[in-house]
Amino acid sequence: MTSPWRRRCSEDQTGQGRPEAGAPGQGLPALLHRVALGDEAAFGRLYDVIAGPVFGVVRRVVLDRAQAEEVTQEVLLEIWRGAARYRPERGQVLPWVLTIAHRRAVDRVRAAQAAVDRDRREAVAAYTRPYDEVAERVAARADQELVRRCLRELTEVQRQSIALAYYGGYSQAQVAELLGTPLGTVKTRTRDGLIRMRDALTAEARRAPGRPAAFRRRTV
C-alpha cells in the first residue's frame, strides 16, 4: 500500500479530508495499532493529533523552517512505516512519537554540522599544504629555500593563518571562520608570524650582503 503522506499534504492545503481527531473509541494506541495494519484513515486521525507537536519539537532543534518541515515529514513517514514497533508497555504513544522526532532533528543538525566541519577541514588543508607555492609567491626573485626555512620556523597555527590570509585570498574574518578560531586570535597569530618572518629575512640578508636587495625591499 502506498504511503498516505502525499494525500495528507494535499488535504492540508485544500482543507478537505481532515477527519475529526480523537473520535470516541479512537485513542492513540488504538489508532497506532490500526496504522500498523495499514489503515490510512487511522493514520489520518493520528496525523491530526501528532503533526503539530512533532513539528514543534523539531523546530526547536532545527532552526531552519524548511529543514524542520522536511524532518517532520520524515518523522511522520517513519510512524506510518514503523507503527508496529510501538509497545504500549514502554510508555504512551505521544512521548514515543516525540522521542523519534527529537532524535531525527538532532541527526539532521549533526549531519549539517559535520558537512560544515568537513568543508572547513578541506579548505584549510588545501591552503596549508603547498608551502613550496607559498614560498615562490613570497620570494619571486629571492632564495626560495630561505623563505621555506622562515616558514618552517613559524608555528603551525601561524603558517595556517598567513597562508590563508595572504596566499589563499581570505579575509581575516574568513580565516577565523575556517579555522574555528576567534578573530582576535587570528590577527595576533598573523601579526606575530609576519614579524618573525621579517626578522628572519632581515637577519639572513645581513649575513649575505651580496644579494639582499629584494629581501630588504620586502621586509621594510
Divide the 220 residues of the chain into consecutive groups of 10 and give the mean pLDDT of each group. 48 42 59 93 93 94 92 95 89 91 93 85 67 55 64 77 73 81 85 82 66 41
What is the structure's pLDDT at 220?
36
What is the structure's pLDDT at 73?
95
What is the structure's pLDDT at 215?
38
Whether the Cβ atoms of residue 47 and residue 8 lie closer than 8 Å to each other: yes
What is the structure's pLDDT at 191?
85
Q: What is the DSSP string of 146-158?
A: HHHHHHHHS-HHH
DSSP letter for 165, please: I
DSSP letter for 142, please: S
Whether the Cβ atoms of residue 48 and residue 19 lie closer than 8 Å to each other: yes
What is the structure's pLDDT at 90?
79
The distance from CA 21 to its chain's CA centroid, rounded to whole angstroms, is 38
What is the structure's pLDDT at 209?
52
Q: Decide whether 5-117 matches 129-218 in CATH topology.
A: no
What is the structure's pLDDT at 91?
83
Cell (9 digits) for 52: 503539530
Query: According to CATH, what is the number of the domain 129-218?
Result: 1.10.10.10
Where do the domains of the chain lie?
Answer: 5-117, 129-218
Phi, psi at 165, each rounded to 5°: -75, -45
Phi, psi at 179, each rounded to 5°: -90, -10
Whether the Cβ atoms of residue 106 and residue 98 lie closer than 8 Å to each other: no
What is the structure's pLDDT at 79?
95
Give CA–CA dist 142/217, Å, rounded: 11
CATH of 5-117 given 3.40.50.300, 1.10.10.10, 3.40.50.150, 1.10.1740.10: 1.10.1740.10
Query: Is the pTM above the cut of 0.85?
Result: no
What is the structure's pLDDT at 132?
55
What is the structure's pLDDT at 217?
40
Give CA–CA dist 183/181, Å, rounded: 6
CA atoms within 13 A on the CB side of 19: 16
